[in-house]
Amino acid sequence: MTQENFRRRYESIRRRTDRRLERVRPAPGARRLREGCRYVLDGGGKRVRAVLVILSCESVGGKASRALDAAAAVEILHNFTLVHDDIMDNADARRGRPTVHRKWSVNDALLAGDTLLGAAYEALLETTGSAHRRLAGVLTQGLLDVCEGQSLDLEFEERTDVSVKEYFHMTGKKTGALIATATELGAIVGGGTPSRVAALRRFGLRLGRAFQVQDDLLDIAGDAHDFGKTIGGDILEGKKTYLLLRAAERAEGEDRKLIERILRKEGQALGWKTGDGAVTPSGSAVIAQMKELYARYGVLEDAGKVVERTTNEAMSQLGRLPRTAAREMLRALAEELAHRES
């Protein structure tokens, strides 16, 4: 599949998803709540999870039109998690715009998130067919997994002894679960056999692992304009990324002492970031030092290998599906996500 054909097909699905999301009009009697929900859904994004639902449906012989409601449900659920994540992270911006709790208030954002959660199930139940209970079970388990992963992530903030194994368990819940939910829902709506549904779920889980490690890599090695976030922000905030945890296993001497300071989340206390999130000169120096440290201990190379290996593991699951254009789109999308720069 050529890159041009991939982009054309991807954009077609994304636009179709956006049109379906325009139909979501929650809380008709509460203006501010309705505006908050629309503000979130109109914020754009790649709609990766929605695209995965539709392609997974087509890859087992289903029609895209039958999967559109489920695709909308996953995308709405994803946006619900982002609203609440932004509150917990005290984030000021999302996709280049003020977060909901900054534009309105924390209470408004909580209500908007909760309403979007209800809207996700409402969209899912519009799916034609008789598998509503099964679909709702998959979406519910995805939601529970995401919440568990987010809770583990919060717990990790208070610890300095998190292992790489624990990191993968946490990110498998926080990131991988919703991607796997998308592929599984699409396969079910498309009428896939149990073995093909299972293969697509495994594809999603492995793709989620590659996606998260690539995200960790972009935080230190990406371009600030393309990435849309402060480069090195994870370091200054002491986030337990794959890179930091792997480096903690290998570092010695002064390198080890620096990593321990980061693991203890000393960035703010030492003035590495200002109150508005700007990075100070000392913070920039720490980021540069950590990037050099990661390279010297082979952590950047190691992370790249993890992304490549888990992406290949994901794509190997596609061999259980019939050879179709949708299957090749899934393969191309996996490659695209593994090598993305934003």
H/E stretch holding 127 = none
Q: Is the pTM of this model over 0.85?
A: yes
Which pLDDT belongs to residue 230?
67
Angle at 16 between CA 335 and CA 199, to 5 degrees: 40
Which pLDDT belongs to residue 227?
47
**Which CATH number describes the domain made up of 3-224+307-338?**
1.10.600.10
Distance in angstroms (rounded) separating the CA atoms of residues 64 and 53: 9
Residue tagged 């001497």 (tokens): 253
pLDDT (tens digit per residue) in 30-66: 999 999 999 999 998 999 999 999 999 999 999 999 9
| Domain ranges for the chain | 3-224+307-338
Which pLDDT belongs to residue 126?
96
pLDDT (tens digit per residue) in 222-238: 665 554 456 788 898 88
Q: Which residues of the chain have pLDDT under 70?
A: 222-230, 267-271, 274-277
One-letter amino acid for residue 187 of the chain: A
